[in-house]
Amino acid sequence: MAKYVAGIDFGTTNSAAAISDGATPRMVDVEGGKDTIPTALFFADKTNRVHYGRDAQNKYTNGDGSGRFMRSMKRILGSQTMRGGTVVNGKMTRFDTIIEYFVKHLKQKIDKAAGAKVEYVVMGRPVHFRDNDPAGDAQAQAELEKIALAAGFKHVAFQYEPIAAAFAHEQNLTSEKLAFVVDIGGGTSDFTIIRLSPERKFKLDRTEDVLANTGVRIGGNDFDKALSMKSFMPCFGLGTEYKSYDKNITIPTSPYISLSTWSSVNEVYNYKTLNMVRGYTVWGLEPEKTKRLYEIIENRLGHKNLDYVENAKMALSSQQDYEIVLDFLADAPLVKTNRSIFEDSIKSDMAKIEKSVQECIAQAGIKNTDIELVILTGGSTEIPYVSRVMQSYFPNAELSSANKMASVGLGLAYDAMRRFAEPQHTK
């Protein structure tokens, strides 16, 4: 039987995989006929079962919710947090074990699609897992490699996610193009300048075609955080004061920041925070708001709230105004927001993203007007502000934005075909 190789796009928010046995790569059905799966896990405490993807989200929000829900685990790779663990249903569990559950799950789907145990994989990686931290960055890749090996792969290589996206788009090209790839997902913004052509795509070594790579650890998760802090958290008392003896003091921002950060939501679910917030419901000057904060923490509604925030953000990609009743709270408050509030809230994030674009152009030693093709990939490029800014840099380029959610996975499988081609079996 022909040897299968796989590509895995382990994303902050969504993951995907593709396989090839030498023929054109195909996407793997990773969840009920879908070629993407939310990078989410739910450890149900009653049944002791682990749920993945949409199933995890449904079990967590529609079941009785008791158990531990996790998202955005990729953001922990390479950090100090990774060295420790977290309590999952009463048991201390290492983060690498948690990520391994997820990668193993993807491997099972890959093996099922191939009808064989697949041993060769190219994993995607952001240009930087962590900003300005080469050691943390190397640590993150080493952790992910160990996890892939533990999940059952025998040969693991890595490729930058935007380069993979470029390889997928290259399949449709009829002439050579100097391309700028924009991949803005949930966790990172990654950029590549690469020469693509129908002839170059057969070359085994593409090093000289890649002119520059840059990236910054900002993505849709940060946009959710910005919108949450601007439009949602004030409704739970952010910016209000409490009375302490004869002084009025502003309530600390820390619980609001945790509740607005996908990877830190669970950090507020402890007795100390609950007790502190109970104090604000008594001494707070706007107790109707701090009572909502208390309710969120007591009933573990942080992820649910962030779901509402993310939906608001996505809705603002296609409409100007948005309002939503927070029906998971007893008094069901109304939150109103709009596109200009959102755009304003992500201005400083966008400035950092633009800086990374400028660095990429400088690193390549080209002019922005030399770029002939801009490839937009990753869910966050759906945001009008984001795509507007990206296009503004490249006035002579045509735009390609097909297959946004699958292109990285597919491109990784193309890369795997090249790297693990017979007879070399080399990395």
Interacting residues toward ligand ATP by CB under 6 A: 11-14, 74, 161, 185-188, 219-221, 310, 313-314, 317, 378-380, 382-383, 405
**Residue ranges in 126-185 that form contacts with Mg ion under rule CB under 5 A:** 185
Nearer to ligand ATP, 53 or 379 (CB): 379
Looking from the CA of 323 toward its CB, the CA atoms found within 13 Å total 6
- Residues 18, 181: Cα–Cα separation, whole Å: 20
| Cis peptide bond upstream of 384, omega within 30 | no
Which of Mg ion, ligand ATP, none does 192 bind, CB closer than 5 to 8 A by kind?
none
Question: Which partner in ligand ATP, Mg ion, none is near 329 (CB below 5 to 8 A by kind)?
Answer: none
What is the closest distance, in whole angstroms, from the C-beta atom of residue 425 to ligand ATP in the complex?
29
Closer to ligand ATP at the Cβ: 62 or 319? Answer: 319
Which lies closer to ligand ATP via its Cβ, residue 96 or residue 237? Answer: 96
Q: Is 337 exposed, middle or buried (0-12, 13-18, 19+ CB in 10 A)?
A: buried
From the list Mg ion, ligand ATP, none, pick the one residue 343 interacts with, judged by a Cβ distance below 5 to 8 Å according to partner type: none
Q: How far apart are the first and last CA of the chain?
A: 21
Cβ proximity to Mg ion, 284 vs 379, nearer residue: 379
Amino acid of residue 129: F
Residue nearest to ligand ATP (CB): 220
Q: How far is the CB of 123 from ligand ATP (least distance, A)?
A: 12
- Binding segment (CB under 5 A) for Mg ion, from list 11-19, 128-136, 145-153, 170-178: 11-19
Per partner kind, with CB cut-offs from 5 to 8 A, the member of ligand ATP, Mg ion, none near residue 220 is ligand ATP
The pairing of strands 50-52 and 40-44 is: antiparallel
Shortest distance (Å) from residue 80 CB to Mg ion? 24
**Which tokens is 366 given?**
């080209």
* Nearest residue (CB) to Mg ion, 30 versus 326: 30
Which of Mg ion, ligand ATP, none does residue 187 bind (CB under 5 to 8 Å by kind)?
Answer: ligand ATP
CB of 387 to ligand ATP, least distance (A): 10
- In a 13 Å sphere around the CA of 2, the CA atoms on its Cβ side amount to 12
7 sits near Mg ion (criterion: CB under 5 A) = no
| Identity of the residue, 13 or 20, whose beta carbon is nearer to ligand ATP in the bound complex | 13
Shortest Cβ 105–ligand ATP spacing (Å): 16
Q: Which does 74 bind (CB under 5 to 8 A by kind): Mg ion, ligand ATP, none?
A: ligand ATP
Task: Kindly state the tokens that stand for 348.
Answer: 């400083």
Q: What CA–CA distance (Å, rounded) separates 416 from 85?
A: 32
Residue showing the smallest CB distance to Mg ion in the complex: 185
Q: Could you tell me how many residues of this chain bind Mg ion (CB under 5 A)?
A: 2
Nearer to ligand ATP, 45 or 382 (CB): 382
Q: Closest distance between ligand ATP and the C-beta of residue 8, in Å?
A: 11
Contact of residue 100 among ligand ATP, Mg ion, none (CB under 5-8 Å per partner type)? none
At its nearest, how many Å lie between ligand ATP and the CB of residue 314? 4
Contact region for Mg ion (CB under 5 A) — 7-15, 38-46, 216-224, 315-323? Answer: 7-15
Give the residue with the Cβ less far from ligand ATP, 186 or 284: 186
Q: Which does 380 bind (CB under 5 to 8 A by kind): Mg ion, ligand ATP, none?
A: ligand ATP
Residues that bind Mg ion (CB under 5 A): 11, 185
